[in-house]
Amino acid sequence: MDIVGFKTPELQAICESEREANHKLGTPCAKKLRTRLSEIQAAPFAKDLPAGNPHELKRERTGEYSLSLVGLVRLTFVPANSPVPTKDGRIDWSKVNKITIVYIGNYHDY
């Protein structure tokens, strides 16, 4: 998949700078983030992600997809395909191959 954007410049810095990720997330979480970002870039589609308990979110976070990092810290993203692929009125994550990262943290506190 292609990571085509970030919701904030801070998220972009965390994802693109090992130093920034270590500072903001701590070394173990920053290391896991680098692993997840590599897995994202290697996967053809969101449904092909191999690890991190990939799953679609619900309720107020409908339209987002989540991957576990460390503990309760998650990386979440939304599709960046245009148009967004759908099936039966829902996002078809098996066809999403472009994403925007929207959050890194404990989304239960978000």
pLDDT tens string, the chain, 110 residues long: the values are: 999 999 999 999 999 999 999 999 999 999 999 999 999 999 999 999 999 999 999 998 999 999 999 999 999 999 999 999 999 999 999 999 999 999 999 866 65
pTM: 0.93
Per DSSP, the residues of 1-68 read -EEEEESSHHHHHHHH-HHHHHHHH-HHHHHHHHHHHHHHHH-SSGGG--SS--EE--GGGTT-EEEE
User: Hey, where are the domains in the chain?
Assistant: 2-105
> Is the CATH code 3.30.2310.20 the one for domain 2-105?
yes
